[in-house]
Chains A and B, each alone.
Chain A
Amino acid sequence: MKFSCSAFFLVCVLLLAVSASASYYRFMVVGDYIVEYEGECDPATETCFVGCEDEECQEVYYYSHVQKHAVNAYEQCGPDISECEEANVCLPEDTACSITYCSEDVLHEGETCEDLDESSFPEASEEDSESEEPSEEESEPMPL
């Protein structure tokens, strides 16, 4: 095999190795990324997203979208955020944190807001947009 051919393969493998190492360092060692999850939401005080507990949607639950830096989330809750109170609020030590409550602007396909129409976005929300409560979106990069 010619030198230029071997060199090409070598450069490709090296680039891949460097790229993979950098990714490994970023994601596995430093944890430099955002995690998003469903945080707790009180429908009495906030406009929450509504989720179904079962297929028939007999029981519902309320949630908000929380985004935190993975390192902060890990420091506050460990690997599992599901039983962690700190995961639902932005704390002063968070380097990046936001909690998003339901509004037309942030609704995705298949999502529903508590105070909007019960049907899905976008048709229902467009029809009812004038009668709705103003949407609340709290986006608060911390520390405060």
Chain B
Amino acid sequence: MICPYFPEPSYFLFVPDLSLVYYAHFPVTILALLVGLFVFFSGRTFLLNRLLFFIVLAFVLWNIINLIAWTNIHSDFILFSWSLFGPLSALISILSIYFMHVFLEKKDVGVRVKLVFLALLAPVFALSPTPFGLNGFNLTECDAFGFEGFAYEVYYTSLGFLAMAWILVLLVHRYRKAEAGFKKQIVLMGTGIELFLFSFITTVFLASYLAGQGILTDSELEVYGLFGMLVFMVYIGILLVKFKTFHASLIASQALVIALLILIGSQFTFVTSETQQLLVGVTLLLTAAAGIVLIRSVKKEIEQRKHIEHLAGELEKANKQQIILLHFITHQIKGYVTKSRNLFASLMEGDYGPVTDPMKAMLEEGLRSDTKGVNTIQEILNAANIQSGKVTYAKAPLDLKELATTIANDLKPNADAKGLALAVTSEGNDFTIQGDRLQLTNAVKNLIDNSIKYTLKGSVNVSLTRKDSKIRLEVSDTGVGITPEDMKLLFTEGGHGKESSKVNVESTGFGLYIVKNIIEAHQGKVWAESEGAGKGSTFIVELPAP
């Protein structure tokens, strides 16, 4: 049956006086298809890329059948097309949820979630060909608004709103846990897809409802909803370019230029006067020319960036090789120095005969020097191991007060040699923590030893306090203090302060870096406080009590 009051379209789709419809459909469809194809072919093995492509494909199909419904006059063909609106819009909703799951979690959803998706889709596919979907056609109006059943009026739209709510919950939940860099991507993607779904679902629902009620003469309102896809594609473009979300290596400037040309070119569908057509034509040509220049410059930039990335890769490779070499050399040297130190120790103990006084002084100096050398090399090795993640922590209940007292006793001779007072004080009884004894010994020893090294006169105090669920260890001294400039370099890898270097020329700069890593591996934190040069300093470690 044909609609008697409407003209037959030419070339299947074209009728006069529908410029807004064409303007809404063609640019959006072509742009979405271009972006969808671009993303798909940039990484067709990635699920995220595939899902975006399927969303775009469903949207493009929806647009085509929508255009058929707008322009055709054969009731059977329009009804057949109309019956696909529901399944396609439902697919768009469900695929959008699936897409956001994969985007946010960076992995596929479980089988159960997929079954939920299918369960939600099943009624749509089942009801669509039945009278619950559509049961008639108005030849006078050439539409089926008055004959949409329960499936159209309630279920399909509800599915759209469910998708919006589901995605919103996912976004909020994931945003809270996300890192700063990913948060920006979540906001962009979330806003894009929610705007798209909101404009698409809401305007289609409103247009359908108001036209069905006879309040609107047609459903032209729904075409405005299609521009939501345009917004979504712009957001996808930003994610492509800025964050490489879809593993696409090519900058989307080409897509941007093509989109601009489509948008400008599509104005030909509704401009009527020759002057307007001329202006649109000139704008189109100028945009095309500017676009070519833009694409060329971006292409050049991409080549330069690729070259820089290649160089950076090579540099990283060379760095890694250097680290391996340094590690190897350090290990070897440590072996030689350790052997030499042991020899000095044996000679000192008289294993090879009596030691005369002149010899003793030389041997003591040799032993001291080799011990420093072994400690320095060990510090460098520890830092390298921490950096490469080779350090493992065997945690067990540990009395931090007992540990600090033992270390202080071990280092007392060093403090005595400089005439410094070294004391350990505590408030409270229980200082038990969960920790790796060897690593924490290393950390605490480093802090007390540092204070002794950088204190020329006065005292070094180690104090322990417990507050709520935290145990605090403070190492304070009356030493050289820390300038604000040097404070920034503390705890950094190989960081040497200007002032501190004058006092301790043998510092490797790795000591506090190691301390920080060990303490953080115990879910604690460490920081330093000082009022400035010459005013002493305090290093504070805070560890959680079990």
Contacts and interface: CB of A to CB of B under 8 A. Distances in A.
A120 B75 CA distance: 29
A81 B79 contact: no
Q: How large is the interface on A (under 10, 10 to 19, 20 to 34, 35 or more residues)?
A: 35 or more
A37 B80 CA distance: 19
A37 B111 CA distance: 49
B121 interface: yes
Given A16-B91, A36-B139, A109 B128 contact: no
Interface stretch (A20-28, A40-48, A54-62, A130-138): A20-28
B136 A24 contact: no
A27 B144 CA distance: 13
A68 B133 CA distance: 19
Contacts of B138: 35-37
Nearest to A67: B136
A11 B118 contact: yes
Contact of B54 (A9, A27, A79): A9
B125 A8 contact: no
Nearest to A36: B138
B93 to A, nearest CB: 12
A10 B245 CA distance: 26
B47 A79 contact: no
B114 A79 contact: no
Contacts of B122: 15
A2 to B, nearest CB: 6
B77 A28 contact: yes
Given A27-B83, A31-B76, A8 B117 contact: yes
A124 interface: no
Interface centre among A12, A31, A82 (most CB of B within 10 A): A12
A94 to B, nearest CB: 15
A106 B386 CA distance: 82
B99 interface: no
A18 B133 CA distance: 15
B2 A79 contact: yes
A81 B136 contact: no
Contacts of A4: 108, 111, 114
A80 interface: yes
Given A8-B118, A12-B121, A24-B80, A37 B128 contact: no
B80 A81 contact: no
Interface in A77-136: 79-82, 108-111
Interface string B382-410: 00000000000000000000000000000
Nearest to A16: B87
Contacts of A82: 4
B419 interface: no
B137 A33 contact: yes
Given A20-B84, A35-B136, A82-B4, 7 more contacts: A5-B114, A16-B91, A23-B83, A33-B134, A36-B139, A37-B4, A81-B1
Interface of A: 1-2, 4-5, 8-9, 11-12, 15-16, 18-20, 22-28, 31, 33-38, 67, 70, 73-74, 79-82, 108-111
Q: What 8 pairs across the A-B complex have the smallest Cβ distances? A: A34-B136, A22-B129, A82-B4, A109-B214, A23-B83, A108-B214, A37-B139, A19-B125
